Amino acid sequence: MRFVRWGEAGAERPGVLDAAGHVRDLSGVTGDIDGSFLSDLPGIDAESLPKVEAPRLGPCVAKVGKLVCVGLNYADHAAEGGWDVPTEPVLFMKATSAISGPFDPVTLPEGSEKTDWEAELGLVIGTRAKNVAEGQGEAHVAGYIIVNDVSERAFQQEMGGQWTKGKSHDTFAPIGPWLVTRDEVPDPLALSIWTEVDGVRMQDGHTSTMIFAPGFIVEYVSRFMTLEPGDIISTGTPPGVGMGKSPQVFLRAGQEMRLGIDGLGEQILPVTAL
């Protein structure tokens, strides 16, 4: 299934895509696409539900408790940033207040000069995960989404402390457009992932080059914190970010980001200033 949330910002309703890609209203089945719904997915006949005409799509998961990110999970991305290839997953948190929709504007923070893009495969947790046994990580995943881990590099790298301050501005975590259930993604390590800025291809990667696979990431993170249904793990970005270009290239107001992952849809994000 491909789940969405549709409607005005802040008042989104649950939906599901039918076989033709039309949005169907799930309000009669569930109150929202959240952890409670994802932990006990019912059987759904999308074709029997009311069709929604030309809806705005918002963030495809509601009430996200944690947004955990994995840094430097592609060796060539680590190299372009001048970092060593990690021997264990690098973890950091991104504020859930940064979550926004897949077609909403990304707003540059005041004083931003180095805001960057990072297309990433996101894992949405479906069942509670704590100290998950080896080989059991993927069983806790309800589905997959696109996450754009937008990052202000000066805030991240030049202002001391850890990375969170460069990752958490409002609109810095567009998710969606769809949550695609695990049964429809046979191999999360077989997906192309890309980003364009103003029509120029910047990232052109593949999840097969991840250092740490999605299932292992769930197992690893669950050693340090309990993962609850509806939590999201963003699994890292391939090379091609603006920081890694020579000369470096960063986002400016008036530009447009477009990014996608095989089978998970595309985001189209105008860039604006405060």
* pLDDT tens readout for residues 36-82: 999 999 999 999 999 999 899 999 999 999 999 999 999 888 888 78
> pLDDT digits over 181-232, tens only?
999 999 999 999 999 999 999 999 999 999 999 999 999 999 999 999 999 9
61-265: CATH topology is Fumarylacetoacetate hydrolase; domain 2 (3.90.850)
Tokens coding 252? 């400016």
b/e per residue 15-48 (b: at least 16 CB within 10 A)? bbbbeeebbbbbeeebebbbbebbeeeeeeebee
274 pLDDT higher than 90: no
Task: Give percent of the chain with pLDDT exceeding 70.
Answer: 100
Side-chain-side CA neighbours of 135 within 13 Å: the count stands at: 0
Q: What is the pLDDT of residue 161?
A: 85
Q: Please give the span between the terminal C-alpha atoms of the chain, in angstroms, as a whole number.
A: 37
Residue 240 predicted with pLDDT over 90: yes
Mean pLDDT of 69-96: 90
Percent of the chain with pLDDT over 90: 92
Burial of residue 91 (CB within 10 Å: 0-12, 13-18, 19+) is middle
Q: Where are the domains of the chain?
A: 61-265
Query: Which tokens is 87 given?
Result: 């021997």
- Short-list 161, 274, 43, CA closest to 26: 43
